[in-house]
Amino acid sequence: MTDLAGTAIAAYRKIYGASPEFVARAPGRVNLIGDHTDYNEGWVLPMAINLGTVLAAARTPNNALEVHARRMGESVMVPIGGELPAQPRAPWANYLLAVADQFRSRGHALPGLRVLVDGDLPLGAGLSSSASLEVAFAALLNEMLGTGLSRRGVALLAQAAEHSPYVGVQCGIMDQFASALPEEPAAVLLDCRTLATRPVRLPAGDGALVVIDSRRERTLAGSAYNTRRSECEEACRALEAASGVPLAALRDVTPAMLDEQGAGLREPLLARARHVVSENERVLLCAEALEAGNLPEAGRLFTASHESLARDYEVSCPELDTIAETAVGTEGVHGCRMTGAGFGGCAVALLEQDALPALRKAVREAFAARAWEVPHFHPVKPACGVECFRLETA
Ligand code: GLA
């Protein structure tokens, strides 16, 4: 990502004919395990990756927020005098407006601003391109306006932006935390109730992680995501009523309680609860397995997680299922799962480094046989969270 800062600065100069004052970069993330658990106050194990979003920006005397997205070749100019109007024709710009609006609603006046957006993260593929854009802009405004937010504060503001009408996805906290928080290149075990974190270092050696982009567009992501979320709330209320035990979230449901009380739940609520309860267990076991250097066990948990997301949570798709099945049948692959919200997007495989060519070949062949688009492979490494700096020459 470092070279990207240079590219973004050069692009800013070219587009706006002046030098930027600030550069911010925020990584995307791959979630190693723990999907659809964050908004149930459970555990997740995301890892910031070496692909992300970079912003270059400077204040201007104009009463407007001007933004150019280099990779899309699109620009918007939004007046900042009154309410910031959403941009239906440039949905990417709404993430920035949502963040700017959060600063305003906390009493901070917005200066006239020019922003150049760049990055090397696949867009809309389930690697948190939106969270990394929100986090990068929140960190940039935090620095520029001197608002003194901590990394956690930046993440929480970015999440509030995602919930706002500009975006309207009732996401959990995982993506913004993964992009904002890590102070060392490691995965982060996050307790989404207490927001306590623990870095989980990947074992040194021949193990590797590869992200496989199915190229299947995540069209249902927003609406079906919100439906899953309300199904979980309903399942929790029903289990509370049946058990007489106060339950703040599905996090509080034990496997034994689900066995005893689950029969009273209507489908698909039982299946949704079964996923969340079992996934929480897998996250904690997987963190331990990785810390102990036990890649076969971590991989087994990856694969079990995929099956649960596909069967019980119903957020997979034929492309992701094919990737997972093919990967698991390839020598040297420990496990594979869809990652993130699902409904398309990416899978992540845990494998021995030298198994990558065989995996690539097998998945490509499986896709070609079904006449699907060629999947993209991104070997990923852990990265640190967001950083923002003021350029000395500005
Ligand atoms: C999206 C959301 C996250 C999380 C995942 C599923 O990425 O933004 O908060 O719920 O889906 O695990």
- For each of the chain's 394 residues, which pLDDT tens digit applies? 558 899 999 999 999 999 999 999 999 999 999 999 999 999 999 999 999 999 999 999 999 999 999 999 999 999 998 999 999 999 999 999 999 999 999 999 999 999 999 999 998 888 999 999 999 999 999 999 999 999 999 999 999 999 999 998 889 999 999 999 999 999 999 999 999 999 999 988 889 999 999 999 876 566 888 899 999 999 999 999 999 999 999 999 999 999 999 999 999 999 999 999 999 999 999 999 999 999 999 999 999 999 999 999 999 999 999 999 999 999 999 999 999 999 999 999 999 999 999 999 999 999 999 999 999 999 999 999 999 999 986 4
The enclosing H or E element of 92 equals helix 91-105
The pLDDT score that the predictor gives to residue 394 is 47
* 3-state SS class at 55: strand
CB 43 within 8 A of CB 189: yes
With a 6 Å cutoff on the Cβ, whether 171 touches ligand 1 is yes
The pLDDT score that the predictor gives to residue 124 is 84
With a 6 Å cutoff on the Cβ, whether 229 touches ligand 1 is no
CA dist 92 and 96 (Å) reads: 8
Question: Whole-prediction pTM value?
Answer: 0.95
The pLDDT score that the predictor gives to residue 87 is 96
Q: Which atom of ligand 1 is nearest to the CA of 173?
A: 9
169 C-alpha to ligand 1 centroid (Å): 10
> Is the Cα torsion angle 309, 310, 311, 315 positive or negative in sign?
positive
CA dist 180 and 151 (Å) reads: 6
Please name the residue whose Cα sits nearest to atom 12 of ligand 1: 35
Residue of 35, 38, 101, 175 marked catalytic: 175
The pLDDT score that the predictor gives to residue 292 is 96
Q: Which atom of ligand 1 is nearest to the CA of 38?
A: 10
With a 6 Å cutoff on the Cβ, whether 49 touches ligand 1 is no
175 C-alpha to ligand 1 centroid (Å): 7
* 3-state SS class at 276: helix
With a 6 Å cutoff on the Cβ, whether 42 touches ligand 1 is no
119 C-alpha to ligand 1 centroid (Å): 21
With a 6 Å cutoff on the Cβ, whether 162 touches ligand 1 is no
Please name the residue whose Cα sits nearest to atom 2 of ligand 1: 171
Is 38 annotated as catalytic? no
Q: Which atom of ligand 1 is nearest to the CA of 39?
A: 10
With a 6 Å cutoff on the Cβ, whether 35 touches ligand 1 is yes
With a 6 Å cutoff on the Cβ, whether 66 touches ligand 1 is no
The pLDDT score that the predictor gives to residue 50 is 96
77 C-alpha to ligand 1 centroid (Å): 30
The pLDDT score that the predictor gives to residue 380 is 96
Q: Which of 163, 171, 250 to mutate to test the pocket of ligand 1 (most atoms within 8 A of CB)?
A: 171
Q: How many residues does the chain have?
A: 394
Q: What single-letter amino acid sits at 239? A: L
341 C-alpha to ligand 1 centroid (Å): 5
CA dist 135 and 387 (Å) reads: 10
Q: Which residues contact 249 (CB under 8 A, 6 or more apart)?
A: 40, 41, 42, 193, 236
Q: Which residues contact 188 (CB under 8 A, 6 or more apart)?
A: 45, 46, 47, 48, 177, 178, 181, 182, 197, 198, 199, 200
Q: Which atom of ligand 1 is nearest to the CA of 169?
A: 8
170 C-alpha to ligand 1 centroid (Å): 9
Assigned architecture for domain 3-201+383-390 = 2-Layer Sandwich (3.30)
With a 6 Å cutoff on the Cβ, whether 39 touches ligand 1 is yes
